[in-house]
Amino acid sequence: MNIQLNGKEQQLPKEVVTVTDLLHFFELSNRIVIVEVNRDILQKEQYQTHLLKDSDRVELIHFVGGG
C-alpha cells in the first residue's frame, strides 16, 4: 500500500493495515502522537480500528521534549 506520510510518498508493507500498525512500524507506539488521516484528526481510541487505504494522506505529529 502507498500512502502520503507527512507530505512524502511512503510504501508500507502489507501487514500495516491500521493506524496502530503504522505507529508500531515507525516505532512511535509508545510516544504521544497526533494522527491525521485525510484531514481528519483521529482519537486514540480509533487507532486500532481505522483501516488505512491506498493513497491516504497521513500526518503524524509527535512531541519532542527539550529546553
Q: What superfamily does domain 2-62 belong to in CATH?
A: Beta-grasp domain (3.10.20.30)
Q: Are 60 and 37 in contact (CB under 8 A)?
A: no
Q: Specify the DSSP class assigned to residue 52.
A: -
Instruction: State residue 63's pLDDT score.
Output: 82
Residues β-bridged to residue 33: 62
Tell me how far apart the terminal alpha carbons of the chain are, to the nearest angstrom: 38
Of the candidates 59, 49, 61, the one whose C-alpha atom is nearest the C-alpha of residue 19 is 49
Q: Specify the DSSP class assigned to residue 35.
A: E
Low-confidence ranges of the chain (pLDDT < 70): 67
Place of cell 500512502: 3
